A and B are shown apart, each in its own frame.
Chain A
Amino acid sequence: MSTAPKTVQSKESSLSEKGLKAGSVGLIGAVVIGVSCIAPAYTLTAALGPTVSEVGVHLPAIFLVGFIPMLLVALGYRELNNAMPDAGTSFTWATRAFGPWIGWMGGWGLIAATIIVLSNLAAVAVDFFYLMLGQLFSNPDLAGLSKILPLNIATTLVFIAIACWISYRGMETTKGVQYVLVAFQLLVLGWFAVSAFAHVANGTAFDATAISPDWFNPFAVDSFSQFAAGVSLSIFIYWGWDVTLTMNEETKNPEKTPGRAATITVLVIVIIYMTVALATLSFAGVGDTGLGAGNPENQSSIFAVLAGPVMGPFAILMSLAILSSSAASLQSTFVSPARTMLAMGHYRAISPRFGRISPTYKSPSFATIAAAIAAAAFYVITRTVSENALWDTITALGMMICFYYGITALACVWFFRAVAFSSVRAFFFKFLAPLVGGVILLVMFVKTAMDSMDPEYGSGSSVGGVGLVFILGMGVILLGVAIMLVMYRLRPEFFKGKVLTRA
């Protein structure tokens, strides 16, 4: 029998192995991943209505302009991700740049944004689930079930619970499934646009509106308030695109694939957004009655209303496309807040329980369940106090993305300040782009926050004379501040900069 000492060899081997399969993603794969993160069918149905209600026919202009701050911030995000890869992303970077307090709030903003989008994704999936049942059995009563509040809330909670469970079990969407989901989404959105234009040409459109060059002029938007609201909403529609830029080792050609994939992805997305936006406006106009895109009844989920009149019996494909893409996004989006909370727990910025990893499934255990509970709670509260919860959550979400992306971009500027003028490339990518992008986003955030105090803002829901969007947006941020202060009392070591040091 051997009595040789136990040796641990795993340390070396484990660090050389990356969690992502190296060199497994080609150009088309990277584009598919990018489009899938954006989930265009879901974002369009959720954001098109609220954006039209702010900027009317200038929707195409705002969709184009909204990409600029996203691009600028994403360039900074990529620099940070290359310099400091970390599960905490915005939380870690902002902490390293600005210290624990702003870092904590950056992490909170990211978690809040992903929690809000989780509850919205689940709600959209539920709406289209019932709509699809109605279409499947040719029974509009079934589609109406999603309007029954207790049933709607119960179904949404079930969807959240299932997605949480799948994520907890560490199950993933495979390449084949992702290709099919993305192709199906693009195909159905294209079909919708072509059908809408066909109706316009045949004179069967609801409110045929001639396309005018003015639609593409962002300066024609009536007021800066509407402009800011439109831009913060269109940040949401591009949210996800930057994933292509951060792909490195997993691509077959790390030098070229990410840049090319990002370019092709944004072209695909802009083309599909423009086509669908123009088709929707041409077919339905921006009137506030009937099928009009400006009708408050239609804002929360435009395709739920328009797919039937535009696509006829094939509208069920739209339901299926949105249901499948929002369900897939729901599951994959769970990973993100869970990992950010895990990182914050790991760095002792919150309870270390959040840092637990399931030994069986090797996924964040406590944090995944916490994310599900938070998303469920957010949905129940919003749905109970607002007649038009989806609309208000999307507007609040736009604000939240502006908040944490703004902080992240400025963290990039500050973190790289010493090398900002060392080369032309560094000047543009580490200084100018994130600075301009971050400032734009924070200005949009402040402006939207101030405007949203008006009880008439967004869907017009209000609590105590203050607009619900403000309550949701600022309420979540103030809740973050309150929890941060509690955490400061409970675990001061993080806030004294003993865990993560400023660079």
Chain B
Amino acid sequence: MRYVVGYTANARGHDAVHLAVALARNHDVSLDLVLVIPEDSPFNAVYPPETGYDDILNEQAQRWLDEGLALVPADITARGHIRRGDSEARTLIDASVEMDAAALVIGATNSGLLKRFTIGSVAGALLHSAPLPVALAPHGYRRTEPITRMSCGFGTRPGADELLDLAVESARDRGLPLRLVSLLALDGGDSPELLDAAWMHAAQRIAAVESSSADELLTEPEIVVAKGRTIEEAVDRLDWEDGEILLIGSSRLAQHRATFLGTTANRILRALPVPMIVVPRDYTRQSS
């Protein structure tokens, strides 16, 4: 299995590499570091004309990639790629599809107002349109040890069942304990009946997934209920392990106006001390 890492030679790129290494360590995964450099539009009308800047930029990009690859420990296979594209997000998606990657890992540091090459827009565009799960490393992510627990946010939104299936399968493959975080309270219902129903529903899905496979989960999934007025508040009140990762559906982030999708993700990330994997709706998992 391959993970594509959106690499830039700054803190955000380092966060992404660290997270990718942590994710790869539970799994037989190789990493593909992709560095996107911009494609000059001839309509920018640069004058006096020159054509050699590319060579210098390519040389620099190559050095950056080598630095990025040096961050990957020797026990993990990693390759570097330089790609050209107007949009960093689009180019990363194209590379991921082309390489048949199982996930795309990026750093989530946000900055700037006009966003062509900032993660605000990159994350936003990716969360909108990526056909594969996108792992977002929080700012300053340094941990490269294996992931220790998987959490999955579930509710009643469309795609919740598929997400749950994916979480169960991933946790089982990786031999990780699974924690189900009910976001039901956020979806409007707070009554004990609804919570019971949600619990039952989750248990049924888990049973269904387990029965379809010979393997078993290491431990029975823990189910917790997240409470709060907003998703960030709910996330903030939960306990998180250092080596934890949160799986969440993309429709969860698109609950407000779609243009603010990246903003919502960033707000969650700010509250969330651990990385987050955003799974697109209708995503079906690659078998490893």
Q: Which residues of A contact B (CB under 8 A)?
A: 1-11, 13-15, 17-21, 24-25, 29, 32-33, 36-37, 81, 85-90, 92, 110, 114, 166, 169-175, 177-178, 239-240, 242-243, 246-248, 250, 328-329, 332-333, 335-336, 339-340, 342-343, 346, 355, 357, 359-362
Given A2-B28, A10-B80, A14-B61, A36 and B55 touching (CB < 8 A)? no
A178 near B43: Cβ-Cβ < 8 Å? yes
B 166-203 contacts with A by CB, 8 A: none
A17 near B57: Cβ-Cβ < 8 Å? no
A20 near B82: Cβ-Cβ < 8 Å? no
B50 near A89: Cβ-Cβ < 8 Å? yes
B65 near A8: Cβ-Cβ < 8 Å? yes
Q: Chain A contacts of B242 at CB under 8 A?
A: none
A172 near B43: Cβ-Cβ < 8 Å? yes
With both beta carbons as reference points, the residue of chain B lying nearest to A35 in the complex is identified as B45
Known: A178-B43, A335-B46. 19 other contacts (CB 8 A): A2-B28, A2-B76, A7-B79, A14-B62, A19-B57, A24-B42, A33-B43, A89-B48, A242-B49, A247-B49, A335-B44, A336-B48, A336-B50, A339-B53, A357-B60, A359-B10, A360-B10, A360-B117, A361-B116
In the bound assembly, the distance between CA atoms of A248 and B69 in angstroms comes to 35
Given A17-B84, A173-B41, A333 and B47 touching (CB < 8 A)? yes
Q: Contacting A359 at CB < 8 Å: which of B54, B64, B76, B77?
A: B64
Interface-central residue, A7, A87, A246, A248, by most chain B CB under 10 Å: A87
B 60-93 contacts with A by CB, 8 A: 60-62, 64-66, 69, 72, 74-84
In the bound assembly, the distance between CA atoms of A67 and B121 in angstroms comes to 45
Q: Chain B contacts of A239 at CB under 8 A?
A: 47
Asked if B30 CB lies within 8 Å of chain A CBs, one says yes
Given A6-B79, A362-B37, A87 and B42 touching (CB < 8 A)? no
26 A–B pairs (Cβ distance < 8 Å), ordered by A: A1-B28, A1-B76, A4-B30, A6-B78, A11-B62, A18-B54, A18-B84, A37-B47, A81-B51, A87-B55, A89-B49, A89-B52, A90-B48, A169-B116, A170-B38, A170-B117, A173-B41, A177-B43, A239-B47, A247-B49, A332-B44, A332-B46, A333-B47, A343-B53, A359-B13, A362-B38
Q: Contacting A243 at CB < 8 Å: which of B40, B49, B114?
A: B49
Q: Nearest 6 A-B pairs (CB), nearest first?
A: A86-B52, A359-B9, A87-B52, A19-B54, A85-B51, A14-B82
Asked if B284 CB lies within 8 Å of chain A CBs, one says no
In the bound assembly, the distance between CA atoms of A21 and B82 in angstroms comes to 15
Q: Chain A contacts of B118 at CB under 8 A?
A: 360
Asked if B58 CB lies within 8 Å of chain A CBs, one says yes
In the bound assembly, the distance between CA atoms of A87 and B42 in angstroms comes to 15
Q: Contacting B79 at CB < 8 Å: which of A8, A171, A329?
A: A8
A21 near B62: Cβ-Cβ < 8 Å? no
Q: Contacting A332 at CB < 8 Å: which of B45, B58, B64, B114?
A: B45
With both beta carbons as reference points, the residue of chain A lying nearest to B67 in the complex is identified as A359
B52 near A88: Cβ-Cβ < 8 Å? yes
In the bound assembly, the distance between CA atoms of A360 and B84 in angstroms comes to 14
Asked if B39 CB lies within 8 Å of chain A CBs, one says yes
Q: Chain A contacts of B58 at CB under 8 A?
A: 14-15
Contact with A along B199-225 (1 / 0, CB 8 A): 000000000000000000000000000
With both beta carbons as reference points, the residue of chain B lying nearest to A328 in the complex is identified as B45
In the bound assembly, the distance between CA atoms of A340 and B66 in angstroms comes to 26
B81 near A21: Cβ-Cβ < 8 Å? no
Q: Contacting A2 at CB < 8 Å: which of B35, B51, B77, B80?
A: B77
With both beta carbons as reference points, the residue of chain B lying nearest to A36 in the complex is identified as B45
In the bound assembly, the distance between CA atoms of A297 and B54 in angstroms comes to 45
A342 near B65: Cβ-Cβ < 8 Å? no
With both beta carbons as reference points, the residue of chain A lying nearest to B31 in the complex is identified as A6
A21 near B65: Cβ-Cβ < 8 Å? no
